[in-house]
Amino acid sequence: MKSTTAGLALFAATVTALGLTACGSDNNTGGSAAGTAGGASTSAECAGKNTLTAEGSTAQQNAIAVFNQAWVKQCAGKNLSYNPTGSGAGREQFIAGHVDFAGSDSPLSDAQVTTAAERCHGNPAWHLPLVFGPVSMAYHLNGVEHLVLNGDVLARIFSGAITSWDDPALVALNPGVELPALAITPIYRSDSSGTTDNFQKYLSAAAPHAWTKGEGSEFQGGVGEGAQKSAGVAQAVQSTPGAIGYVEKGFADKAELPSAMLDSGAGVVAATDESAGVAIQAAGFVAEDSNDMRLDLRSLYGTKQAAAYPLVLVTYEIVCSKGYEPDTSAAVKSFLKTASTTGQDGLAAAGYVRLPEQLKRRLSAAIDAIQ
């Protein structure tokens, strides 16, 4: 896993360098230099300190790079230094006050809600859903270009009940496909991961009778081989014949791994931006009248809507609602505004889904309310 660690370190350095190469001013208010060289329409859009820090989800690291490029272009001299250490580490670093916000594929736990409020000087932390994308079931089967799975089969694979690719349940889903008599090697995230949490929540919603292992950021299946971070899962699947792993589609595509299609009962659907977007429309909020925008994912993962790919990753930026220093809150709002508007333009090429307009309007109001 040394190469994976080195790659993540290089990514963090590259994101920092992106911002630093655009620096033309050390003016923390993002004044006229930002308005001219950076293309910002008003200095208020580029207010606050020049450098923000964030840590967490590896699933959103490529989206964060896109957002940072947009922010650099919009506001000369600005930069986000993002450390992709995993959702669990990101939440911990945010609560400890070591970073300005966290990127996380899972919301704060009940205990963390309390400690996060302490970090925010007595104010609640908010979950702002900024990045969506299909989670690929990437696999390594030579000669098998098209593979169909469903929630029940995936639950049994990742709990050890199905162990060979020629299992009758797989054969029934793939008529006419020559599946080999090859052992299945499930690949899971060995680090604390919001992608794992999302995957296990999907299994619980889509196959409640087959998946009884539970949920959470730690893999509960008890079988397979673990790999660190999203890049590590893709690398492990790539190097292991018979392997299958859950990983964000952008990482699967970069590794040139095929992605299985899912059949939720309304037909076979491939993992695409469009099919993930259809599924996102089914998601509701835990609290409808709140700027804390945690999503109720069971409605999404359990959907049987035609043309919907339900295994979708939802990742949050976890921020203080109040309690920042003024120059920090202004910069956080500036970055998030850019990410939710012009930053959306480059997401498709990075393997993510643009924000639906209805969600974007609600997100904009929440960002405006940060203090």
- CATH code of 143's domain: 3.40.190.10
Which of helix, strand or coil describes residue 287?
A: coil
| Together in a domain, 171 and 116 | no
Are the C-beta atoms of residues 76 and 33 closer than 8 Å to each other? Answer: yes
The first and second tokens of residue 111, run together, are 């205990």
Instruction: Read off the pLDDT of residues 325-355 as tens digits, 9 standing for 90 and up.
Output: 999 999 999 999 999 999 999 998 888 888 8
| Together in a domain, 148 and 83 | no
Q: What are phi and psi of 198, to 5 degrees?
A: -60, -45
SS3 letters for 314-349? Answer: EEEEEEECCCCCHHHHHHHHHHHHHHHCHHHHHCHH
The answer to the question of residue 82 being in a domain is: yes
State the Cα–Cα distance between residues 58 and 318, nearest whole angstrom. Answer: 15
> What amino acid occupies position 344?
Q
| Together in a domain, 157 and 177 | yes
The answer to the question of residue 301 being in a domain is: no
| Together in a domain, 123 and 149 | no
The answer to the question of residue 311 being in a domain is: no
Beta strands in the chain (DSSP E): 51-56, 79-83, 101-104, 125-139, 148-149, 185-189, 225-227, 243-248, 261-263, 268-269, 284-285, 295-296, 312-320
C-alpha dihedral over 137, 141, 142, 144, to 10 degrees? Answer: -70
| Together in a domain, 196 and 75 | no
Q: Domain boundary at 231, 251, 278, which?
A: 278
| Together in a domain, 66 and 101 | yes
Low-confidence spans in the chain with pLDDT less than 70? 1-44
| Together in a domain, 148 and 228 | yes
| Together in a domain, 20 and 83 | yes
Total domain count, the chain: 2
| Together in a domain, 220 and 168 | yes
Pairing mode, if any, of strands 101-104 and 284-285? unpaired
Which of helix, strand or coil describes residue 34?
A: helix
Are the C-beta atoms of residues 55 and 90 closer than 8 Å to each other? Answer: yes
| Together in a domain, 61 and 126 | yes
pLDDT at 21: 33
Residue 272: give the domain boundaries.
Answer: 135-278
| Together in a domain, 120 and 164 | no
Burial 120-145 (b: 16+ CB within 10 A, else e): beebbbbbbbbbbbbbbbbbbbeebe
pLDDT at 167: 98
Pairing mode, if any, of strands 243-248 and 295-296? unpaired
With a CB cutoff of 8 Å and minimum separation 6, the contacts of 41 are: 35
| Together in a domain, 78 and 127 | yes
pTM: 0.75
pLDDT at 44: 56
State the Cα–Cα distance between residues 8 and 230, nearest whole angstrom. Answer: 10
Q: Domain boundary at 231, 256, 278, which?
A: 278
pLDDT at 24: 30
Q: Domain boundary at 278, 309, 336, which?
A: 278
The answer to the question of residue 288 being in a domain is: no
The answer to the question of residue 292 being in a domain is: no
Instruction: Read off the pLDDT of residues 216-253 as tens digits, 9 standing for 90 and up.
Output: 989 999 999 999 999 999 999 999 999 999 999 989 99
